[in-house]
Structure 1
């Protein structure tokens, strides 16, 4: 029997309690790689709960990469915490013109445009009416961000990402890349490892600050960072392949970062949009003294709100805050005030639930259309899916979609040295009818 205890009076669901305690047993070394767990039926009987509770917990931990189900054999641990103790805090490129939208293109099936439920428009307008009657700061605002917003964000990150934070540990930013721009000058000299394929804006931001970009292979376990001073990753939903970084790989990367005296930059851009299991916990939970956590409102609200948040280890936090104080850097007060209202009114929770339902319905439709012609690169989650196929086929499908009035991205544009090719198909910023039209054009080209 596992040494776990479930509290039926707690507000936390029983499956989440069980998953959290099994995860802790792995992290503390009580459970090691290869250890066989009780069957879901046996564990349910031991704990006096329904089998659905243990099955949900095992499914969650399997999705995160902590456990592995072997047919006919049982469920086994696949990740082990290294003996190193985690540290917990106490407290140049040439400018280019924007790529014009191709002639005839009316809609983008991209990775960055979320679904916006028109039924939520009254709450959106109410938030901005409150901004219009609120009294703005008389001078430059607090460089950490609006205190009430940081309090609301701390509560939300604790509830949704398992990060227990004091509001003063949070710095409100103007988005993910703004957080990177704040962090990069405070790192010691050296290159930055960035996932390949990966988020193009992150790599470009690193180059802009005169640092070398080292390609971090997404499909491999990273056990050595060399002389890199930081590693930028998207572990909950890799951008753009969509895979979840397995628990064992997370621990290995953190150990590599400790050996290199580097930080891990976790971009947690759309972790709330899982349809099969609960959102994968933030990597920052494993080592708050080694991970810089970046979040954004771009996927849950709208990108043009230009708001995000940064949580850094104490030494980096102080350096970033000092520079922001001197330079008067910070996110726009009106946007912060509006997001505060959206959080307080429960608008953001409703927006996430609504978008998650839409994505959960659209993702299988994309999969049904694409499966005969391409290979899915990762689990279905978020507002896009990535499909592996030869570059010639991908370009033919891309061109056919353009002719039909839709722009889709080639996977090759996210890659530097990986050589992976295919299509990245977003489905958040279009209507159901537009999605069907785009898929018809894409599959028609692939079928031909």
Structure 2
């Protein structure tokens, strides 16, 4: 999905806004010659407008020579980026010596107890009968693996594909050599921690439990950063810490978007204290209430380390992610990985390359976004009479605020019905917030209905 946002209150017509934004992406080098634009149907669905808006914008760009139409293939970028603005010129000076190379089924894996997960990390995906998935692994079986340890940054062709996807979907222009392929988000965090000065790390509270545990396992103290309080109101949010771990696109687990004021305040605090901001771009691809929010790292490449993952768009068990670190940390991380032979499994990297190359991942994200957009209102309709929604309806889960005794009773009722639902308090360390975190990706529609019936029955029976 392209980083586009249409303003219905603006005086400029929607087709003119869209054409102007695509034009700017081409001039900036985010979109490059021969890049394929989304179909009018797909982009209309992503932006929530009629196909006529997209078609008019494409016709204008075609008339101006920015794009070309290929019969039976689609619409492609025809013009090169503006002078000096192409991807390859962005950050090469910093690399130095390191320069080198179907809805009805869904994902329904049970827990160890036999219960179905309704959590924040199990996505909707059905690869059992997917020809694109099978093709990816056939290519793995016929490809020649590296004879020794692979490039410590990851498979070069995969890094190129990831860089192109980040430019298209997150508006983030990076050179492939600036990307380090990891074994997931927490692995990316593990790569960063040894390169930081001695000291504690701040993590949102409530926040990502795996990140807190990873920080503690490296002998560092975790400082709580209140997630429900505007950052400018927090006294010295980064004082005494060497880094802060945040999920600005879709706060985990409250689901809120970090406001612009908080983003600027966070970067200002990082500049004042010298702390590193670690951006976990969690669930950013699955917004359906608004267009995807730009990545925080796009505001400051020198103070923000960016973590991404394929866990929510493909499968968590693929164990593939990526890290874009500030130049001063990137070289140290690559040097350490070279010594320790650290890296994601080559077969998984090779499979993801095929999934990206063939457009399978884009198709999967669009399909999953549609499923989530249909399921989220059903969850809201069921739970709204009993609890307060903590954030906007977006992504593969929603968080509901209610007293802890009610939440525990509902959780226990779900367990009795065969489902595992998490308590909000399990994500908190010092935060007093309580409630339920209800995922809806890892179950079928029928299973979701049964789980909601169990939850609402327990909540409706409270005294």
Distance 2:124 2:347 in 1: 23
Q: How much is the aligned-residue C-alpha RMSD, in angstroms?
A: 2.7
Distance of aligned partners of 1:439 and 1:209 in 2 relative to their CA distance in 1, 3 Å threshold: same
Partner of 1:211: 220
Distance of aligned partners of 1:9 and 1:368 in 2 relative to their CA distance in 1, 3 Å threshold: closer
Other structure's SS at 2:130 match = helix
Q: Deviations over 1:362-387 (max 9, x none)?
A: 00000000000000000001100000
Structure-to-structure mapping, 1:422-433, within 5 angstroms: 422-433=435-446
Other structure's SS at 2:400 match = strand
User: In the alignment, does 2:324 pair up with 1:311?
Assistant: yes
Partner of 2:6: none
Question: Any unmatched runs of 5+ in structure 1?
Answer: 21-48, 54-86, 92-99
What's the offset of the Cα at 1:5? 12
Q: 1:265 aligns with which of 264, 278, 293?
A: 278
Other structure's SS at 1:143 match = coil
Question: Any unmatched runs of 5+ in structure 2?
Answer: 1-9, 26-52, 58-89, 95-109
User: In the alignment, does 2:390 pair up with 1:381?
Assistant: no
User: In the alignment, does 2:337 pair up with 1:324?
Assistant: yes
Structure-to-structure mapping, 1:275-314, within 5 angstroms: 275-314=288-327
User: In the alignment, does 2:372 pair up with 1:359?
Assistant: yes
Q: 1:241 aligns with which of 254, 266, 278?
A: 254
What's the offset of the Cα at 1:280? 0.5
Distance 2:124 2:244 in 1: 30
Partner of 2:123: 114
Distance 1:256 1:270 in 2: 25
Partner of 1:125: 134
2:421–2:437 CA contact under 8 A, matched in 1: yes
Distance of aligned partners of 1:329 and 1:397 in 2 relative to their CA distance in 1, 3 Å threshold: same
2:279–2:297 CA contact under 8 A, matched in 1: yes
Q: 2:161 aligns with which of 152, 156, 160?
A: 152
TM-score, normalised with respect to structure 2 = 0.76
Distance 2:141 2:248 in 1: 38
Distance 1:211 1:236 in 2: 26
Partner of 2:31: none
Partner of 2:420: 407
What's the offset of the Cα at 1:211? 0.5
1:297–1:303 CA contact under 8 A, matched in 2: yes
Distance 1:324 1:234 in 2: 26
Distance 1:19 1:435 in 2: 42
Distance of aligned partners of 1:369 and 1:120 in 2 relative to their CA distance in 1, 3 Å threshold: same
Distance of aligned partners of 1:117 and 1:15 in 2 relative to their CA distance in 1, 3 Å threshold: farther
Distance of aligned partners of 1:114 and 1:420 in 2 relative to their CA distance in 1, 3 Å threshold: same
Distance of aligned partners of 1:378 and 1:5 in 2 relative to their CA distance in 1, 3 Å threshold: closer
Distance 2:20 2:390 in 1: 28
1:90–1:314 CA contact under 8 A, matched in 2: no
1:404–1:441 CA contact under 8 A, matched in 2: yes
TM-score, normalised with respect to structure 1 = 0.79
What's the offset of the Cα at 1:326? 0.5
